[in-house]
Homo-oligomer: A and B are copies of this chain.
């Protein structure tokens, strides 16, 4: 039982991840909480049974005022700083979160939940529709939105007995959730740090997502979305989607520095069967991804990203999304991020300014592209740590 809070009980085991690699692998038990009241989604459909899988790190203080919610990106999950149960690899933000680190678990109680629609224990396409554990949602899983994800997280936060989050942060799609948290629950968020994100998904973002979806649904192993019934996985399609997306996460400079035109075999191009290093790297990215991610989740979550347009929820006025907010904001972008360019973060900062919010905006000079928020970027870590420290002081946190 993490977090040291007596109320934070793991109420059961969630075992619906079996068979993702096409074999009858042992089910994975994700720490989770079940809300039998369900959740009515923005599309109007009610999920009768809502499970939110999550992990916590650090200790919740007596005042329950030191909680930091981390929102993960499209293919991230709740395993922020621990061994991933499927891949065996370390957590995706181990360089940022931990004792004495930027998000200091000696000071903060860190929570991360698998998003609604995900495939690491929270309710999603691989969850049972009802009582029959073998009758999964699959393609019947309703369309969800970033706001739906946030509303599911809010239930978790309520369950944990936390009235106000000290901070909400996350990059990319995680940053969208941060913005939605601040807009939907302004009184429950003391500080918000949206990172490498945007107030809407652009036409180019949608276009890349759509190509990924086409790759998945075109794979015959996708079987109209019923692959899980036949124990298969649309590996090729999912890998292609991942390969393409991965290019968009890196800058041209980063790819050139990492791989340039180096060949995997030999030094000079012989024009016969040569493989460039960047090709095998991408192929590796694709093939490892399919072992840990569900195709229908990928379709569902990318759709949620595409739907995201925060201003549209507020009469096309982004400032109105934050009117009267008391939340303190630090908007972070990276100079070489071409998937969520700085201009989009600047739009967020401007809207916050128009709303009279307390906002700082920092563009980190980096040549690592969108993925910079996951990498060692000392300037970013310093900015994040400094902002959180300042806010903690203002909030009277020890």
A residues at B contact (CB < 8 Å): 41-43, 142-145, 200-204, 206-208, 210-211, 214-215, 218-220, 236-237, 239-240, 243-244, 247, 250, 252, 255-256, 258-261, 268-274, 276, 278-279, 282-283, 286, 306-307, 309, 312, 338, 341
Contacts and interface: CB of A to CB of B under 8 A. Distances in A.
Nearest to A237: B218
Contacts of A255: 202-204, 207
By CB atoms of chain B within 10 A, which of A144, A211, A274, A312 has the most? A211
Pick the most buried of A201, A260, A279, A306: most chain B CB atoms within 10 A of its CB.
Answer: A279
Contacts of A206: 261, 276, 278-279
Contacts of A250: 204
A335 to B, nearest CB: 15
B309 A269 contact: yes
Given A142-B272, A206-B261, A218-B240, 14 more contacts: A203-B258, A204-B247, A204-B255, A211-B243, A211-B282, A215-B215, A215-B240, A218-B237, A220-B220, A252-B338, A261-B309, A269-B307, A269-B312, A274-B307
Given A204-B247, A204-B256, A279-B207, A143 B272 contact: yes
24 contacts: A143-B271, A143-B273, A145-B271, A202-B255, A202-B261, A203-B255, A203-B256, A203-B258, A204-B250, A204-B256, A206-B276, A207-B278, A208-B244, A210-B243, A210-B278, A210-B282, A210-B283, A211-B243, A211-B244, A211-B282, A214-B243, A240-B240, A269-B309, A338-B338
Nearest to A369: B204
Contacts of A272: 43, 142-143
B341 A252 contact: yes
